[in-house]
Structure 1
């Protein structure tokens, strides 16, 4: 995993040629997912104004292929209650191979070892079976269910 910088986010929004010039890895044709890319303007603004938040988010690199296959992070770092909020995505072509679980375990271990962090939480849609399995394998436990979301803590 490598940090996703403001320069990289701007390059993604400018197009493939700029992205290839700035990001030091090849990128999957499927990355970034639209659900993640929609937050890029907000992330540019936040990371420019609060650069320390940028250290809490990165791109997942497939080691053998040297290819960006996803993203993972803690949505800006710990909140006022010292809780980090895990978010992640893996492009469809690389799902089901344990990448999210492997990275999730590593990033949770790292995140919980940081100053001013007491707990990690995550949410997923109730019908997202893959995310439920990933969060369970990482070690998260359900603490709340709603009609649309499952809320987890570690």
Structure 2
């Protein structure tokens, strides 16, 4: 993922060595990057995937380009993470995921980052569609995904499934 920027945020690639450092603690990552790393970063919902990510990125380094950290530009602080759950599948789909530390929620950062990532993702070779899921009761994520331009395509008893609309997917538009 290239250095992507939005008005208030910078999205940087979350590289393999950074993931390994973060497993040792936020202070270890902070020694390696020019940004503040809050003591409560990462959230457990994201950290649980680190062993899988380390294995995947070690065996397939090209996959790392889809993983990012969200940096608040003014304070130079990591406030969350965002990325796609791997490279495009055979249908050209990539699945968006993100999390924002609780103290930064409610300020529009997730929406700003999601809009930037949807734009970036659709501009990548081989990508035809952005997808996402969220739980039925996650009203904040529902709003974020709507504001990022995704539309609900179906739901089941636990999740809502989202997709970028066809007009966003057309590279000739």
Task: Please report the TM-score for the alignment, with normalisation by the length of structure 1.
Answer: 0.97
**Deviation at residue 28 of structure 1 after TM alignment:** 2.1
Residues 70 and 90, structure 1, Cα contact 8 Å, conserved in 2: yes
Displacement after TM superposition at 1:19 (Å):
1.9
* Partner deviation per Cα, 1:30-78 (whole Å, 9 max, x = no partner): 2111010000011011111111110111000001110000000011121
Q: Distance in 1 between matches of 2:33 and 2:15?
A: 9
1:35 corresponds in structure 2 to 45
Quote the RMSD (CA, aligned, Å).
Answer: 0.9
Q: Aligned match of 2:21 in 5, 8, 11? A: 11
Structure 2: gaps of 5 or more residues: 1-10, 165-173
Contact 1:83 1:119 in 2 (8 A): yes
SS at match of 1:65: coil
Q: Which segments of structure 1 move beyond 3 Å, counting only runs of 4 or more? A: none
Work out whether 1:103 is the aligned partner of 2:131: no
Rounded to whole Å, the distance in 1 between the matches of 2:155 and 2:120 is: 27
> Per-residue deviation at 1:118?
0.6
* Structure 1 CA distance for aligned equivalents of residues 120 and 73 of structure 2: 19
5 Å matches for 1:50-129? 50-129=60-139
The match for 2:149 is 139
Comparing 7-16 and 86-95, the one that deviates more: 7-16
Distance in 1, Cα, partners of 2:27 & 2:111: 31
Distance 2:91 2:141 in 1: 25
Deviation at 1:17, TM superposition (A): 3.2
- 1:149 paired residue among 148, 151, 159: 159
